[in-house]
């Protein structure tokens, strides 16, 4: 399918504005540029309650923000890891999306401000994601959360962290997660797949962009073989929570998500894979300007409400 007309218009506007791919920027410039995602999301919605907390991490405290939907609880919960290549974005930039996610799904959304590379390289983000998920489970009663209905959710590098957290939970015997929602996730350190070559340039995230991100995230390229970096390389993908994997046609990471979904399904994990046509990486955060993004948000809400047994919004 050709590039979606709304996506084409957005790409044209970015080119006219002189927007540079991340690999041409310093870390500080890339973080500043990532704040433009605030312009692509919809207006922030009111939720019933927002609370900032701090989770004790293995080597440092982890800030989290909890978004409560209307209702009495105990609520199902999604532990949310934002994208940004483990380097950019934060819970403030993603605030409109996490507010909408809480309202759309009827879940408490716990947005995790994990430590960023290159100041904190692998496995800092993995450890923070794990500590936050374990904290939610251990403190579920205080947080008015149902411990039997907790899932992990992430887009882009956050999808990687969600997948790795699900693997880690299985391997250490808990917590028992109900679902994993993986939106255009990187699942393999290799940048030589067909989708990387087909979409190497011109579609926001580029092949060299991912090399830039991995270069900042990893201490050494050899870490790319670690399943906590490349969950696609895990020997066994059985015994994992139900998965929704979303990919985008014009995304270098398309094959990462597709192959991961195929391996999950082959291992017996209930898996849905939806490849959105005509769109690029990061379209999940563009629901203020893209119809396809709004469609994705509706799909996620339906999937979450189904697997976590949440009633339809009033």
What is the count of structural domains for the chain? 1
| pLDDT value at residue 142 | 98
Distance CA 211, CA 189 (A): 9
Count CB neighbours of 96 within 10 A.
19
Question: What's the mean pLDDT when you consider all of the chain?
Answer: 97
Residues 82, 184, 216, 281: which is the catalytic one?
A: 281
pLDDT over threshold 60, residue 216:
yes
Count CB neighbours of 268 within 10 A.
11
Residue 37 is assigned to a structural domain of this protein:
yes
With cut-offs at 50, 70 and 90, classify the pLDDT of residue 119.
Answer: very high
Please list the alpha-helical segments (H only) found in 17-147: 27-34, 95-105, 124-138, 140-143
| pLDDT value at residue 309 | 83
Residue 168 is assigned to a structural domain of this protein:
yes
| pLDDT value at residue 231 | 98
**Average pLDDT for 223-243:** 98
Q: Any catalytic annotation for residue 281?
A: yes
User: Which CATH number does the domain housing residue 167 bear?
Assistant: 3.40.50.1820
Residue 15 is assigned to a structural domain of this protein:
yes
Q: pLDDT digits over 178-188, tens only?
A: 999 999 999 99
Q: With beta carbons less than 8 A apart as the criterion, state whether 301 and 104 touch.
A: yes
**Average pLDDT for 16-33:** 97
Residue 238 is assigned to a structural domain of this protein:
yes
Q: Any catalytic annotation for residue 120?
A: no
Give the dihedral sign, CA 228/192/6/243. Answer: negative
Residues 4, 95, 188, 251: which is the catalytic one?
A: 251
Residues 111, 156, 230, 293: which is the catalytic one?
A: 156
Residue 141 is assigned to a structural domain of this protein:
yes
Residue 313 is assigned to a structural domain of this protein:
no
| pLDDT value at residue 312 | 60
Show the domain range for 238.
Answer: 5-307
Residue 272 is assigned to a structural domain of this protein:
yes
Residue 312 is assigned to a structural domain of this protein:
no
Q: Any catalytic annotation for residue 156?
A: yes
Instruction: Provide the terminal-to-terminal Cα distance of the chain, rounded to the nearest Å.
Output: 37
């Amino acid at each position: 399918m050709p590039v979606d007309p709304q996506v084409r218009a957005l790409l044209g506007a970015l080119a006219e504005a002189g927007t540079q791919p991340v690999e041409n920027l310093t870390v500080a410039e890339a973080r500043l540029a990532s704040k433009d995602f605030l312009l692509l999301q919809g207006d922030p919605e009111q939720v019933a309650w927002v609370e900032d907390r701090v989770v004790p991490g293995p080597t440092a405290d982890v800030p989290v923000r909890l978004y409560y939907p209307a209702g009495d609880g105990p609520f199902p919960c999604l532990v949310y890891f934002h994208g940004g290549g483990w380097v950019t974005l934060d819970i403030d930039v993603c605030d409109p999306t996490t507010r909408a996610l809480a309202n759309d799904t009827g879940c408490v959304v716990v947005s995790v401000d994990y430590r960023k590379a290159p100041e904190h390289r692998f496995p800092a983000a993995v450890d923070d994601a794990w500590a936050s998920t374990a904290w939610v489970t251990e403190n579920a009663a205080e947080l008015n959360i149902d411990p039997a209905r907790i899932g992990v959710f992430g887009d882009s590098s956050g999808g990687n962290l969600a997948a790795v957290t699900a693997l880690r939970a299985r391997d250490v015997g808990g917590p028992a997660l109900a679902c994993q929602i993986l939106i255009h996730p990187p699942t393999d350190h290799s940048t030589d797949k067909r989708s990387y070559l087909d979409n190497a340039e011109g579609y926001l995230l580029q092949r060299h962009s991912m090399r830039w991100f991995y270069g900042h995230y990893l201490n050494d390229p050899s870490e790319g073989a670690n399943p906590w970096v490349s969950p696609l390389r895990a020997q066994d993908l059985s015994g994992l929570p139900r998965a929704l994997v979303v990919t985008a046609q014009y995304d270098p990471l398309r094959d990462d998500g597709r192959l991961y979904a195929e391996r999950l399904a082959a291992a017996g994990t209930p898996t849905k894979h939806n490849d959105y046509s005509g769109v690029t990486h990061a379209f999940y955060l563009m629901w203020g300007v893209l119809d396809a993004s709004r469609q994705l948000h509706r799909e996620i809400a339906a999937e979450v409400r189904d697997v976590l047994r949440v009633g339809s919004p009033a």
